[in-house]
Structures are given as structure tokens and as C-alpha cells.
Amino acid sequence: MTTATAPYRTVALPAFNDNYIWLLVNDDTKCCVVVDPGDAAVVLQAINEHQLTLSAILITHHHNDHVGGVSELVTQLNREIPVYGPTIEAQQVVTKPLKQDDVLVLEFIAATFTVLDIPGHTKGHIAFYDKSSLFCGDTLFSVGCGRMFEGTPQQFSQSLDKLAKLLPSTLVYCAHEYTLSNITFAQAVEPDNQELQHYQQLCKTLREHNQATIPTTIGHELKVNPFLRLNVTEVRNKIIQHFQAPQKIKQCESFALLRKWKDDF
């Protein structure tokens, strides 16, 4: 899908069971950038098939299904390719470390990204944002968020708050096709959310035709994603009811309980 303002096309490369590797293609320059290439083979197939030049690699975090193909890509293409990623993880492959508010100019695809620190899933997780598109790895999913492997509830909650404040039109390119299972959980939290019911039917149709449910948008997620709706009375009350928690509960505590509920669901 091409955004209204992006100078590149964003192409989904399915990998493993449910991963998406994102290829950002500028048709004028025939250059491309790949985000989180866990599998080198699917990337090599795409760039060879369309005669593209891979000009850079972007990494959001260190998990192998996001970085596992980096070394092979560099080896197979046999040239220096900058690998942009976090400052405190994936250092075995990252050659250009980035942090919050760094600006990454990728002239070969005519794109400029701002880096966002979004720890929680992992301690050093980052995202790439250019006002039209967000590449957020495993922090934010459609109707869900990643598991909290390394960060704290406060860190993760603050990261999601940061993403929730982006432009509502922002296209969200996460790294997994988890939408239908996330919707099932979200309906347990908000059974009367009509947006969720409509979205479930849409996503079922898309998946029946082997089409991706991603990208979503920030604006849409604010309507359907319980992890972005912790201040909504129904969501908050459902969490309190499910865990018999105190009425006065901080947002990061609500997040921790909701994440535990999802983990055990």
C-alpha cells in the first residue's frame, strides 16, 4: 500500500508463520529499504525479482525473527549496507545506532524518519516514523500490543501513550498478523464495542482471501485496541472486575493487569 504522502511503496513480505517484513520501494530510483528482515530469502527474492537495490536495513529490536536475515543479506549482496537500529540491543548487526528524536534521512528512497524510543516488549525497542507511516515492530499490533519480555509496565504504557499521540491518519506497520486473535481478546474486554464487531468481519474476509489486515491506523486503533483505551470507563472497569482490583488504579497498573489477562487468555 502506498500512503498519500510517502514517496515510497510499502510492500509486505510474509515470513515464517505470521511475520511481515516491510520493503520500502522508491520506483523512481529503484532503491529500497527493508525493515526487520528476519528471513533473508524472501527479501532477496523480492529485490531480485523487481531488480531493486537494497540501500539500507532498519531494525526495531533484537529478536531473531527481526534480525535473523541481516548477516546473510549483507553477505549475499556482497557490499556495505548500513544497518540502522537501537543503541542498546541488536549490536551484533546494527552499524548505525539510533535513539529518541534522531532524524534518519534516506535520500535513495526520498524519505526522512524520526526515531522513537518505545521500550516495553524489549528494553531498547525503537520505531521509525515519518508522519505518514509508523514501523513499530512488536510494540503495537492491530487491536493489541507485544508481550512484555524485558521492559516494565510503566515503560510499556508510556510507549503506547507516545504512539497514541501520533497523527490519527498514521499508517501502522507492525510485524505480525495477530489481528483476529487480538480481536477475540478485545471483545472479552469490550463486548459492546460495535467498531470491534465490524472490524472482526472485515478482518475475517481479508484473511479468507489471504490478504493482510495490516496496515491499520492510529485513529482506528484508538477505537478498537484495549491497550490504547485504558482510560475508557468500560475497559478500566472490566479490568478491575476481572482481577477484583482496587477502584483507584494507575494507568500503568491497568496496563500490567490487561497484559497479564491477555497472556493467560
Output the domain CATH number for residue 130. Answer: 3.60.15.10
Given this model, what pLDDT does residue 2 score?
Answer: 39
Q: Tell me what pLDDT residue 5 has.
A: 66
- Asked if residue 235 belongs to a domain, the reply is no
Instruction: Give just the sign of the alpha carbon dihedral 44, 133, 66, 17.
Output: negative
Residue 4 burial class via C-beta count within 10 angstroms: exposed 0-12, middle 13-18, buried 19 and up: exposed
Residue 39 has what pLDDT? Answer: 98
Residue 30, in any domain of the structure? yes
Q: What angle do CA 92, 94, 100 make, to 5 degrees?
A: 130
In a domain, 253, yes or no: no
pLDDT at position 6 is 80
Is 249 within the bounds of a domain? no
| pLDDT tens digits in sequence order for the chain, 265 residues long | 334 468 899 999 999 999 999 999 999 999 999 999 999 999 999 999 999 999 999 999 999 999 999 999 999 999 999 999 999 999 999 999 999 999 999 999 999 999 999 999 999 999 999 989 999 999 999 999 999 999 999 999 999 999 999 999 999 999 999 999 999 999 999 999 999 999 999 999 999 999 999 999 999 999 999 999 999 999 999 999 999 998 889 999 999 999 999 999 9
| Domain that residue 48 falls in | 9-225
Residue 254, domain member (yes or no)? no
| DSSP-derived secondary structure letter, 64 | H
Q: Total structural domains in the chain?
A: 1
CB 255 within 8 A of CB 158: no
- Contact between residue 163 and residue 134 where contact means Cβ atoms under 8 Å apart: yes
Confidence at residue 170, expressed as pLDDT on a 0 to 100 scale:
97
- pLDDT of 159 reads 98
| Any domain includes 134 | yes
Decide if 159 is inside a domain: yes
- 245 falls within a domain: no
